[in-house]
Amino acid sequence: MMTDVKETSGKPAADSTAGGTPGGAAAPVNAGTDAPEAAARIVAIRERIDEIDGLLIELWQERARLSQQIGATRLASGGTRLVLSREREILERFREALGADGTQLGLLILRAGRGPL
């Protein structure tokens, strides 16, 4: 994907996926440095980052499904769509652990489960 993102060196971000090389060698990885040892280390760390991102996506989706199940169960039984006291508890947990960013993250997570207010 081509982006306008500039890396901290001020150079435009190279796009390792642009164009592709059908039948050819894989495009080189852009580690953001020309130093081979640093690049190798970055590639290794990125493997774990990619694993973590995959887990975060899975957990995000599972949580949203579970939240939707609760919402449907509650509505079908004549209950309320939301339980704001519970949302406050959750936001407080995120804020305590992560500060102001935690609050923002908690709001996004809640929205994924119950939709926008």
Ligand X SMILES: O=C(O)C(=O)C[C@]1(C(=O)O)C=C[C@@H](O)C=C1
Q: Is 106 in the site for ligand X (CB under 6 A)?
A: no
- Which residue among 39, 70, 105, 107 contacts ligand X (CB under 6 A)? 70
User: What are residue 12's phi and psi, to 5 degrees?
Assistant: -65, 145
- Which residue among 32, 102, 105, 114 contacts ligand X (CB under 6 A)? 114
Block residue for tokens 């309320």: 80
Q: Do residues 103 and 91 touch, judged by C-beta distance below 8 A? A: yes
- The minimum distance between CB 82 and ligand X, in angstroms, equals 3
Q: Do residues 30 and 16 touch, judged by C-beta distance below 8 A? A: yes
Distance CA 3, CA 25 (A): 23
Contacts with ligand X by CB under 6 A: the residue count is 11
Q: Is 111 in the site for ligand X (CB under 6 A)?
A: no
What are the residues binding ligand X (CB under 6 A)?
Answer: 67, 70-71, 82-83, 86-87, 90, 110, 113-114
